Structure 1
Amino acid sequence: MTQLTDADLLHLATGSQFLACSVDADWLAEAFERVRAQLELGHSLPEFVAADELDDSEHVVSVGFVNNGLPPSDLHPVGDEFVRSVRELQTELGVTFSGLIPLAGANINVIVAVETAMLLGVPVIDADQMGRVFSLLYQSVFTLAGLAAGPLAATGPTGESAVVRVTEPLRAERLVRALASEFGGWSATALYPMTVAKLRAHGLHGTLSRNIRIGSILHSPDPLDRKYRRLISEEGIRRIIHARVTDVTGLSRPAPPGQPDRPSSVILEEVGSGRIIQLEIQNELLMLMVDGAVEAVMPDIITMVDPDGARVANFEDLWVGHRLDLMMLPAAPEWYTDKGLELAGPDAHHILLRNRHRRHQ
């Protein structure tokens, strides 16, 4: 059990953005600043623990934002929404949660877990249920294990809240997404309550430590090529493509009902070879093709770095003429099983992505 430091927080945020490459990087930055503001008010960063440091009989819960399928609303959180959801779920279950895990092991929900833990005075656990970011809350290793998503508690931006007695993760997804819409755009959700024993058996462990390591590499004083060599040798990056954006196209194609959607396609040219790189995007980077052949596809992790300063890039950096370094790394092994691919692979996403993937198999 260790205490998170200011440096850990910075590296955690950077590593979480690296593994997300998300449309809402501004919200991650805003959550980071809320944590910094709490530190100035006298709060301390939470303890950082591995699941095996807690007793099997203790209870833990996941926390995360769920939106209504649209870009984040103008109703921004004030910081106590997750505290309320966690406390209402404790009351519903008659238990006290001994630690928190993020709904996803990347992007804003990692920092949300830190913020909520520091306000509640409980540890953040070095684990999560996705090992990256997926769009849907049931795309979880807990779903693969047959665990219940609820009961759950949700709080909206205006202070309205609800406790939902639900078990099946797909049903929980639909209900929380509907609540987020009624709340005004998003829901601060506490879900997947379980014992530490179940978390130890079925969670993905060491994922937040990985984020800290990635962030520390990117923030290190090493030259860019040294940083990239370390990402390859230490963190499993399997390929880096240096490319320049040549075209950005929004595609008019609807997502399946109930699924969030921000679809677009980006064309880049690889520096030196001139090969054509195509990115398919729907809230996150779903697929990367090189000269029409699939190089990486969900659940693979695809991310981008701006070589000018080794800064993690996001969708706002996808403008014509901009040079970016595209990186690919594997997701957790659970996502490459038959059940994992069914839940979060190409067949679980947009029909156009599915068809393109199959044409190039």
Structure 2
Amino acid sequence: MSALMTVEDVRHLRTGAHFLACTIDPTAIYVYAEMIEKAMENRVLELISIDELATDDLVVAIGMVTQGLLIADMPPVGDEFIGCIRAIEANLGRQVRAIYSLAAANINGIVPLMVGLQSSLPVIDSDPMGRVFPLISQTTLNIGHVPISPIALMGVTGERAVVEAENPQRAETLVRALVTEMGGWAATAMYPCSAGQMREHGVHGSISRMIRIGEILDAETSVGRKFQQLAEFLGATRIARARVSHVEGLSRPSDLGLPALPSSVTLVDERSGQIIRLEIQNEILLALVDGAIAAAVPDIVSLLNSEHGTVVNIDDVRVGDVIDVLKITAAAQWYSEAGLDLAEPKAFGIPIEHPRRQHA
């Protein structure tokens, strides 16, 4: 069912998008949330279910692609995404009927709300990741063989491009090169598809889920109560409550052209003595407990302050901090063979298979 979003929804969405990414730098999420709240003073923002669209309606993914430049350092001026949507429409000769988030976390979890306000297009409560991944080819639409292109881009300097590439990995390479040349980030519209394709291959309830997570974490309740509600709502489990003993930057190389800040964090569970190790590449990719895999991408690993129940930014982790390390299961599509091929640790250059992979 469609619903008109409120300012409170946006604030909770901001927190939920932050939690599901446990991002390096959440500044852009908060900048966009403020912009959206201001724009909602005189505009209506409609959130719809994919089922409310006709099967052949054209829908398109909206998202930021970054390559070295933090969006908060040079924010968009406002017309970039509208230009991308118009370029897709011109390329396909069809009108876009609704937009959806490229990812259900971090900045791309919230950007489509601003675009919905600017364009008067409804925002679909679905996405093709169910979390955030660094590569535009790492989507459930790719798993379902839905074409990624045409891809429209508009960068920092106002330059525009349209990429047509059948292979998603090749599209990734071309888009990254363009984003670098365009100044470090680009607004993009991609994966233009029918509502029927999105219904079949997307992850649904994405925005509603982020809002509900935000409601839980923003509430004036105890950390224990917050965790209990996250467990009930998301099936979240606590890997450990542990104290940070070591933070190591560039602990392993990133040689696959991935947008990454490789690092590792070691923690000690002071009650059990267990050693927890987190391997990070923008997001947390791997959590080990005494050397055994406790969580591995595509699992979602997030960090909460053990005293306040607030999200801990990866970049803010310091020796001596006591942190709750949480695991959330990703969308079911990611645990298929095709999904694991795209998103298990090996896809990020870590020579480990996900424990769920089935061997013939």
- Alignment partners' CA distance in 2, 1:335 and 1:198: 17
- Alignment partners' CA distance in 2, 1:167 and 1:34: 35
1:168 deviation in Å?
Answer: 2.1
- What's 1:217 paired with? 216
- What's 1:295 paired with? 294
Q: TM-score, normalised by structure 2?
A: 0.94
- What's 1:93 paired with? 92
Partner of 1:19, secondary structure, is helix
- What's 2:14 paired with? 13
Q: Are 2:281 and 1:282 equivalent residues in the alignment?
A: yes
1:91 deviation in Å?
Answer: 1.7
- 1:4-48 per-residue CA deviation (whole Å, 9 max, x = no partner) reads 1111111111111111111131111111122123234x233x101
- Identify which range, 255-264 or 177-186, moves more after superposition: 255-264
- Identify which range, 203-212 or 135-144, moves more after superposition: 203-212
Letter in 1 for 2:14: A
- 1:62-96 per-residue CA deviation (whole Å, 9 max, x = no partner) reads 0111122x352633222321121112211221222
Q: Does the 8 Å CA contact 2:244/2:320 hold for their aligned counterparts?
A: yes
- Alignment partners' CA distance in 1, 2:334 and 2:216: 26
Partner of 1:122, secondary structure, is coil
Q: 1:203-282 residue pairs with structure 2 within 5 A?
A: 203-251=202-250, 253-282=252-281
1:164 deviation in Å?
Answer: 1.6
Q: Does the 8 Å CA contact 1:254/1:261 hold for their aligned counterparts?
A: no
Q: Are 2:147 and 1:138 equivalent residues in the alignment?
A: no
- Alignment partners' CA distance in 2, 1:36 and 1:58: 29
- Alignment partners' CA distance in 1, 2:3 and 2:346: 41
- What's 1:354 paired with? 351
- 1:128-180 per-residue CA deviation (whole Å, 9 max, x = no partner) reads 00100111000011111111101110000111111122232111111111110
- Alignment partners' CA distance in 2, 1:280 and 1:179: 29
- Alignment partners' CA distance in 2, 1:292 and 1:11: 36
1:239 deviation in Å?
Answer: 2.5
Partner of 2:110, secondary structure, is helix
Partner of 1:312, secondary structure, is coil
Name the CA shift for 1:79/1:323 in 2 (closer, same or farther; >3 Å). Answer: farther
Q: TM-score, normalised by structure 1?
A: 0.94
- What's 1:343 paired with? 342
- Alignment partners' CA distance in 1, 2:311 and 2:58: 35
Q: 1:73-92 residue pairs with structure 2 within 5 A?
A: 74-92=73-91
- Alignment partners' CA distance in 2, 1:240 and 1:217: 19
Partner of 1:303, secondary structure, is strand
Q: Does the 8 Å CA contact 2:256/2:348 hold for their aligned counterparts?
A: no
Q: 1:52-201 residue pairs with structure 2 within 5 A?
A: 52-68=51-67, 70=68, 72=70, 74-201=73-200
- Alignment partners' CA distance in 2, 1:339 and 1:279: 25
Partner of 2:148, secondary structure, is coil
- Report the aligned-residue RMSD: 1.8
1:253 deviation in Å?
Answer: 3.6
Q: Does the 8 Å CA contact 2:10/2:37 hold for their aligned counterparts?
A: no
- Alignment partners' CA distance in 2, 1:300 and 1:357: 9
- What's 2:24 paired with? 23
1:275 deviation in Å?
Answer: 1.4
- Alignment partners' CA distance in 1, 2:315 and 2:143: 34
Partner of 2:219, secondary structure, is coil
Structure 1, unpaired ranges of 5+: none
- 1:157-212 per-residue CA deviation (whole Å, 9 max, x = no partner) reads 11111112223211111111111000000111100001111111111111221111
What number of residue pairs does the alignment pair up?
354
- What's 1:4 paired with? 5
Q: Does the 8 Å CA contact 1:239/1:329 hold for their aligned counterparts?
A: no
- Alignment partners' CA distance in 2, 1:273 and 1:254: 32
Partner of 1:260, secondary structure, is coil
- Alignment partners' CA distance in 2, 1:29 and 1:279: 26
Partner of 1:85, secondary structure, is helix
- Alignment partners' CA distance in 2, 1:143 and 1:355: 22
1:356 deviation in Å?
Answer: 9.0
- Identify which range, 143-152 or 166-175, moves more after superposition: 166-175
Partner of 1:354, secondary structure, is coil
Q: Are 2:37 and 1:39 equivalent residues in the alignment?
A: no
Partner of 1:273, secondary structure, is coil
- Alignment partners' CA distance in 2, 1:355 and 1:216: 36
